[in-house]
A and B are shown apart, each in its own frame.
Chain A
Amino acid sequence: MSRPPPDPLYILRGSGAPVNTLHFYCGGDGPPLLYSGSGKGAVHVWNLNTRRAEQVLESHNSNSVIWLDTFDGSRSSLISQGRDMRLCLWDLSEGRSAVTDSLLTGAVGFCQCSLLESQPGSSLLAHPTQDMEEVSVVEMKSWTQVCSLRPDTKLGMLMSMKMWQADSGPVLCAGYEDGSIVLWDVSQRHPLSFLKPLPEPVMCLDVHVCSQKGISGSSEKILQSWTVDGQRTLQMHHSVQMTNPGVSQMRIRADGKILATAGWDNNIRVFGWKKLKPLAVLQHHTDAVNSVAFSDHQDPTQRLLAAGSKDQRISVWSIYSES
């Protein structure tokens, strides 16, 4: 008999608005941190040792923050994407909270950016643009555009994307409004492969680079995983049915063992990544879950799962971390 699903380890309260996005940072000296972006433009920096917000950044003119990431491998370099069509770079070192640079993308959608540290010190950033279908890849330091990726056929609005470094160079996987997924070769600027697993818009996707496998979710009950084979073409793989429709985000844990989804039905679902076997339904939130994130703590026993929800709470879980 399987064990009952666990309770959250703790709840982080006080964001004061729906939590849209989460990002862990556990490296370096100092306590592990969790960055959260709220629907009212606040970015909270949570100290996971004290379980309290160390710092609250007011950003993006109180517009929703939809994406956060750290860059340069530092806890104090933060990039945020807001619904004011801007990207902001933050310097948080020594208690500062200053915006050092910003970029007007002109994108009005909900598509989150994707950051790729190709070489130490130089990063590529893929962001949506004013043109709803286009992905623009820029070099982080100078904002110089590396390429602009636009599908030839009409696929609708860009919904989500993920960029990673393949053997041949940076690759970007993008999901579109009509449900199709396109694998782009960033350096060649041409699409490598098309796949249309579902007819509904691709709400979210994630790719596990080591296993060459990705997964996408939509407003439907089905999660569809696909593989990227040697010829860099996308192939349908497993699929799994959920009880309730709608996924806002999903994340594969770095070790490639489990997948967590943020459901519109207020639940977090955990699946085995290999065969998409449903493992657990984590119930706590009282409103739709917007975001999930796995921590990258060096000590596997301290790795956590965090989920941010529309009910303004962030729940932190410790699951399957002993293995």
Chain B
Amino acid sequence: MAISNITWRMAERQIEDPKIAFAYLRPSCVLLTKEPTIVNVKTLSGHLRGVSDGALQQLQDYILFPLRFVLKTPGSKQESLISSVMEAMTYVLKNTCVQSWESLRDLFSELCLCLCSPKDPGKPGAASEELKLSVLGCMEALLHSAYGDIIFRLYEPCMLPGLGAAVSLFLALAENEKAREVKMASLKCLLMLCLQCDCEEEHVEPQKDERTLLGNALATFLPGVSRALSLVISGDLRQGHAVTSKAMKVWYKTVGTVMADEQCEETKSKRADNGEELIVKRTPLWRKTTSKRLALVLRKIISCTSAHPHWRVRLELVNLSHHLLSQCSQSIGECVGPLLEALVGAINDEEPEVKNRCSAALEDVAQKGQSSCGQDFTDVLSENLHSLASSLPRLMRTSDDHRKLFVLNVFLGYLKILGPKVNLVLTSAVHLERISKALMQVMELDVSDVKIIEGRALMASADFGHDLYPIPSQKKHFQHFTDDRVCTALGKICRMLGHYGSLYLLVDCFMELYKESSVYRKQAAMVLNEIIAGAAGVGVEMEMHKFKTNHEDLESLILSVVEEYISLSNWHLTTVSEANTESTASSREPICLQLHPVSKPPPLHQLNSNIWQICIQLEGIGGFAWALGTNFQPFLMRCLYPVLEKAGDESLLISQAAFKAMCDFCTACEYSSPKELVIKNSDYLLNDVSLNLARPSVHPHAPRVLSVMFTHSDASLLPLVADVVQDVLTELDLSYDQRTPPFCSVLHSLMKALVRWFPTSTGHQKSPGEETKKESCVSLRQFLLDYQKQKDLAEGIGVEEEDLDEMDIPPAVSDPDEDMEGPAVQKELPLRVQIAKDVMERCIHLLSDPSLRTRLKVLEILELSVYMLRDDEEELLPMVHRCWPALLQRLTNDDPLAVPPAFKLLCVLGDSCGDFLRKRVSKEVLPRLTASLVKQAEISARSGPAYIHTLAYKLQLAVLQGLGPLCVRLDLMDVDLDLVSDACVPYLSSRQPIKLQEACLSVFRSLMEQDPDLCWFTLNELYSPAPLHPPHPLLRPLEISRSDNRNQFSDNVQALLKQLDHEDPEDSYDQHLGTNST
């Protein structure tokens, strides 16, 4: 504490004058010499800090003497004493220079003695780590402080034994010592001995001669250094990255000094001078053998550091490769390959610093290589590439993902360095074959997953959002690796190939593989996709070379690839097994059979493989769009239809991929959404659709595409669409038997679209209901007034008034217009009406189709067509008339599944045609329906809870729900209503399923609107809660067979009666009676 205080104070004013300093230091020096104790050492070192550097320099020998004396005194000393001596010496050495060779030599050997064991000067002694550390620190300080002209004397042949002992000492410390600091310190000393220290202090810069001297000396120790350091480098990871990288540094600096190219010739001339026994003669032969040995060591070093988890180690490897390649690439010929490999392997390192350092190094190396021996360099690279390609499949099978990634990065690195020169490699058939086959094997997909085929699109036609939302690209499962980064690296390799290689050559090669075998097809497609992307510069980091492929070439190549992708045999692959097909869509079965004459279902993996192939091709087409940008527009002519076809595919993977491709199209061609894409290019689509409709066996999906289009386009397309609709109808007419189901769905989507496009007619839909409602609200008084008026009119009273009233009603005006056209000219119908009529006409035939599925669909289509024709009664009614017989069959004699939709259609018809159907319904439909209702009522009343899952129940429910509105809309009267109410009464029973009761209540509510009196009577007959009193004593009491006992109908009847009373207020009832009485 006291000393440090003094130190601090003295530091402010150090003694400059050597004389004063001498006087100041002398006592403590003397004291130390006399009594070598820790206290005395500390006192001295405390005083030392009070003296300036200049004074210290002058007094250096004097001050060092007592300290060295302490070390030299024989006998065992305390470690702490030596430590403090070392500390003091380190201080002195750090602040002064060693100017005399003798003191350097003596200090050097004394320090070495402190480290080594007393018996063997080459082995470290058993001192504590702290002591070793302080000695090493002192040694470092000594070497730093040595004057430039004397330090080289260390390397003179006569010094070799001492130097050798020191080197082996340091190596042993670095190798065997546990403590990290000691390892580091000894490595630092070694580095210092190579005169390659990397610390910030000033260093001696050796001249050429001196370098040779250094090289000669170090050559002697090279074997030992290499052995020991390689052990350190490959040592336990726990030693820390700093040790590993420092050891690497020492190694490559040593090697670089010894094997330096510039010293090759020098040694020959100077050989004669050095007659020493120990010195190694660096003859060419020696160089050769050494280089071989070094290559072995190098491989070991690279193998344990190239994938080192710590980036500083990897950075050091880059430095190593760079240093050796630039310093001694000629003398260590064997090592160039591995060095390049190591360098290249780091080019895609995750750590940016490593990456940058590496690319800088590579550029440097490449430049040097090109300038001096470019051919050799390229040869080495291409040879490396070739051997790597050969071993790639094996490596991908056997090693772990980390190693695979490294190997691929190396591959990529080679391509990067080769740059445009990669063509030299590719033009060699052997090389190209190797590379392509390697890629084929490496990129093999794993198609055994059951999920691939099981993923089903929820909707047959993908829903195209209004915006482009990012879709994650599908994860591919590869056979040989699982890591995504491996896949990314492969993609980069292919893109790099495409970027630098001759595109024609590559596309040709991989197209050949694509066609060659189905085993390669998927991989080849993947590679092609990436190659083309790379050629267009998509996803390639271009820092050094701006290299663009000719746009026309690119387009023509893309065209040929696209043609191949969407050719029938590569596009229309079976993706669903027949068993599946039957269950999902019976319609598709014949199609599959046509494509595959052998009806044996293909195995699962084949289907999976097909699915993936289509996905990859779709991905590719999307990628091409990216590659071409707006120039892709003409390709839409060819691509859009096939892609849209796949967008409706049942397989989830495929439809997603197709949708993604469409999004890519949008981005490339600047459409805001797939919807816009479809609308703006509907002419292209329709062209393909109409052509393909005529070839159903080859293009079974044209109807599907058309449906998708209808779903997404808008009314502006009607003229174009109308044209194709004619094609559809013609085609349908030609083949009613086989092709009905797909066409039905087309017509369905068409009608749905029409209803959507012309909503005015659908808006009209509700008005009749509202009107009836209003009518029902008309008060009794109004009714009577109207009745009176009608009666008067019939008798001829007030006719003139009516005429006057109707003067301003327009119909009279519109008449002449029609006359002008003349009766012979048929009015040209609006397109939509014409289409709806045409469609309806086909539906009439299809309504009796043997397939239930078709009949159901047709019923839906008819419903939509009726909506469309609602406004044109003169078109609608004849169609309804023609439709009627078939519809009647559906209502009365069909499968229970068909009856509810048929009944729904009837309701819609009733809504639109009103009284046109009244008679038919009451005569042909109602009796049957009511009869069946009555019959079923007994069954449902007795049924258990499972009944609600039966068809019969659903039928009952549908009829009961629809019956009420139907009665109102058709304005049924008297007998018909009786029929209905009689049929419904059983359903008021509390024994019926609750839903049926509710539906029945709704029927009665409708009946109340239609004929409240009838309702009242019927209900009271079932159950009347209160005795009936005539409202006026003059009236006779009612005599009906009422039952006031609570029974199964009580609850529902009571509810209805309450409603009836509520809707029919007393006063109007009174009024009614009142008018009657007067």
Give chain A residues whose Cβ lies under 8 Å from the Cβ of B695: 7
Q: Are B719 and A52 in contact (CB under 8 A)?
A: no
- Besides A10-B637, A51-B684, 17 other CB < 8 A contacts? A7-B691, A7-B694, A7-B695, A8-B691, A11-B687, A11-B690, A13-B686, A13-B723, A14-B719, A14-B720, A50-B633, A50-B634, A51-B687, A52-B683, A286-B730, A312-B723, A313-B723
Contact of A49 with B by CB under 8 A? yes
The docked-state distance in angstroms from the alpha carbon of A52 to that of B634 is 11
Report the Cα distance A81→B107, complex, angstroms. 115
Query: How many residues of chain B get a CB closer than 8 Å to chain A's CBs?
Result: 16
Q: Are B691 and A11 in contact (CB under 8 A)?
A: yes
A–B complex contacts, Cβ < 8 Å, 14 sampled: A7-B695, A11-B691, A13-B683, A13-B687, A13-B720, A13-B723, A14-B719, A16-B719, A50-B633, A50-B634, A50-B637, A52-B683, A286-B730, A312-B723
Residue of A nearest to B730 (CB): A286
Q: Digitize B677-705: 1 where CB-to-A-CB distance is under 8 Å, 0 elsewhere.
A: 00000011011001100110000000000
Residues of B close to A312: CB separation below 8 A: 723
Q: Which residues of A contact B726 (CB under 8 A)?
A: 286
A301 to B730, CA, bound (A): 33
CB-CB under 8 A from A14, the residues of chain B are 683, 719-720
How far does the Cβ of A103 sit from chain B's closest Cβ, in whole Å?
A: 34
Contact flags (1/0) for A30-50 with B, using CB distance below 8 Å?
000000000000000000011
Report the separation of the CA atoms of residues A313 and B683 in the bound assembly, to the nearest whole angstrom.
Answer: 12
Question: Could you tell me which residues of chain B, from 708 to 752, have a CB within 8 Å of some CB in chain A?
Answer: 719-720, 723, 726, 730
Residue in B634, B686, B691, B723 whose beta carbon sits within 8 Å of that of A49 in the complex: B634
List of B residues within 8 angstroms of A7 by Cβ = 691, 694-695
The docked-state distance in angstroms from the alpha carbon of A290 to that of B726 is 20
Question: How far is it, in angstroms, between the C-alpha of A295 and the C-alpha of B726 when the chains are bound?
Answer: 29
Q: List residues of A whose CB falls within 8 A of some B CB.
A: 7-8, 10-11, 13-14, 16, 49-52, 286, 312-313
Which 9 pairs from chain A and chain B are nearest by CB? A10-B687, A11-B687, A7-B691, A13-B723, A13-B720, A14-B720, A11-B690, A49-B634, A13-B683
Report the minimal beta-carbon distance from A126 to chain B, rounded to whole angstroms.
36
**Interchain CB contact under 8 A, B723 and A51:** no
Interface string of B614-654 (1 = CB under 8 A from A): 00000000000000000001100100000000000000000
Complex Cα gap A266–B695 (Å): 19
Residues of B in contact with A (beta carbons under 8 Å apart): 633-634, 637, 683-684, 686-687, 690-691, 694-695, 719-720, 723, 726, 730
Name, among B634, B691, B694, B720, the residue most crowded by chain A CB atoms within 10 Å (CB to CB).
B691
Q: Which residues of B contact A49 (CB under 8 A)?
A: 634
Q: Which chain A residue shows the least CB distance to B688?
A: A10
How many cross-chain pairs have Cβ atoms below 8 Å apart between A and B?
32
Tell me the nearest residue of chain A to B695, going by C-beta: A7
> Which residues of the other chain, B, contact A16 by a CB distance below 8 angstroms?
719
Which residues of A sit under 8 angstroms from B730, Cβ to Cβ?
286
Please give, as numbers and ranges, the residues of chain A lying within 8 Å of B637 by CB-CB distance. 10, 50-51
Closest to B686 in A: A13
Bound-complex Cα distance A10 to B720 (A): 14
How far apart are A202's CB and chain B's nearest CB, in angstroms? 33
Q: How far is the CA of A50 from the CA of B690 in the complex (A)?
A: 18
Q: How far in angstroms is the closest Cβ of chain B from A225? A: 33
Provide the bound-state CA to CA distance between A13 and B719, in Å: 9
B684 (CB) vs chain A CBs: closest residue: A51
Query: Complex formed: what's the CA distance from A286 to B723 in Å?
Result: 11
Write the nearest CB–CB distance from A214 to chain B, whole angstroms: 34
Q: Which B residues are in CB contact (< 8 Å) with A286?
A: 726, 730
Q: Could you tell me the distance in whole angstroms from the C-beta of A42 to the nearest C-beta in chain B?
A: 13
- Chain B residues near A50: list those with CB within 8 A: 633-634, 637
Compute how far the CA of A220 lies from the CA of B259 in the bound complex, rounded to whole angstroms: 100
Q: Which of A11, A51, A52, A286 has the most CB of B within 10 A?
A: A11
Contacts of B686 in A (CB 8 A): 13
Using Cβ atoms and an 8 Å threshold, which residues of chain B touch A52?
683
CA separation between A286 and B728, bound complex, in Å?
Answer: 13
Which A residues lie within 8 Å of B683 (CB)?
Answer: 13-14, 51-52
How many Å from the CB of A52 to the closest CB on chain B?
7
Least CB distance, A310 to chain B, in whole angstroms: 13
Chain A's closest residue to B681 (CB) is A52
Give the nearest-CB partner of A7 in chain B: B691
Q: CA A16 – CA B831 in complex, angstroms?
A: 12
The residue on A at minimum CB distance from B633 is A50
Cα A52 to Cα B690 with chains together (Å) = 17
In the bound complex, residues from chain B placing their C-beta under 8 Å from that of A13 are: 683, 686-687, 720, 723
Taken together as a complex, chains A and B put the C-alpha atoms of A83 and B70 apart, in Å, by 128
Question: Which residues of A are found within 8 Å of B634, using beta-carbon distances?
Answer: 49-50
Q: Which residues of B contact A313 (CB under 8 A)?
A: 723
Q: In the complex the two chains form, what is the Cα distance from A185 to B866 in whole Å?
A: 66
Determine the distance from Cα of A312 to Cα of B690 in the docked complex, in whole angstroms: 14
Q: How far is the CA of A7 from the CA of B686 in the complex (A)?
A: 15
CA distance A14 to B686 in the complex (A): 12
Considering residues B633, B683, B720, which has the most beta carbons from chain A within 10 angstroms of its beta carbon?
Answer: B683
Q: A196 to B719: give the CA distance in the assembly, Å.
A: 45
Contacts of A51 in B (CB 8 A): 637, 683-684, 687
What CA separation (Å) do A10 and B684 show in the bound complex?
9
Task: Point out the residues of chain B lying under 8 angstroms from A11, CB to CB.
Answer: 687, 690-691
For B727, the closest partner residue in chain A by CB is A286
* Cα-based distance from A11 to B687 in the complex (angstroms): 6
Give the distance in Å from the alpha carbon of A13 to the alpha carbon of B684 in the complex: 10
A313: nearest residue on chain B (CB-CB)? Answer: B723
With A and B bound together, what is the CA distance between A310 and B686 in angstroms?
Answer: 19
Chain B nearest CB: distance from A25 CB in Å?
19
CB distance from B677 to the nearest CB of A (A): 15
User: Which residues of A are found within 8 Å of B687, using beta-carbon distances?
Assistant: 10-11, 13, 51
For B684, list chain A residues within 8 Å (CB). Answer: 51
**Whole-angstrom CA separation of A10 from B634 in the bound complex:** 14
Closest Cβ of chain B to A181, distance in Å, is 38
Please give the distance in Å from A123's CB to the nearest CB on chain B.
35
Inter-chain CA distance A96–B633, complex, in Å, is 25
The complex places the Cα of A58 from the Cα of B1020 at a distance, in Å, of 76
Residue of A nearest to B723 (CB): A13
Nearest residue, chain A, Cβ from B724:
A13
Least Cβ distance of B733 to chain A in Å?
Answer: 12
Least distance between B638 CB and chain A CB atoms (Å): 11
Chain A residues whose CB sits within 8 angstroms of the CB of B690 once the complex forms? 11
Chain B nearest CB, measured from A288 CB (Å) = 16
- Shortest CB-to-CB span from B885 to chain A, Å, is 30
Assembly CA distance A49 to B637 (angstroms): 10
* Nearest chain A CB to B299 CB, angstrom units: 58
Whole-angstrom CA separation of A16 from B720 in the bound complex: 9
Q: How far is the CA of A49 from the CA of B638 in the complex (A)?
A: 12
> Which residue of chain A has the shortest Cβ distance to B720 in the bound complex?
A13
A320 to B133: give the CA distance in the assembly, Å.
93
> Could you tell me the distance in whole angstroms from the C-beta of B723 to the nearest C-beta in chain A?
5
**Complex Cα gap A286–B690 (Å):** 13
Report the minimum CB–CB distance from B692 to chain A (whole Å).
Answer: 9
- B689 vs chain A, min Cβ distance (A): 10
Most buried by B among A10, A312, A313: A10
Closest CB of chain B to A254's CB: distance in Å?
27
- Distance in Å from the Cβ of A200 to the closest Cβ of chain B? 30
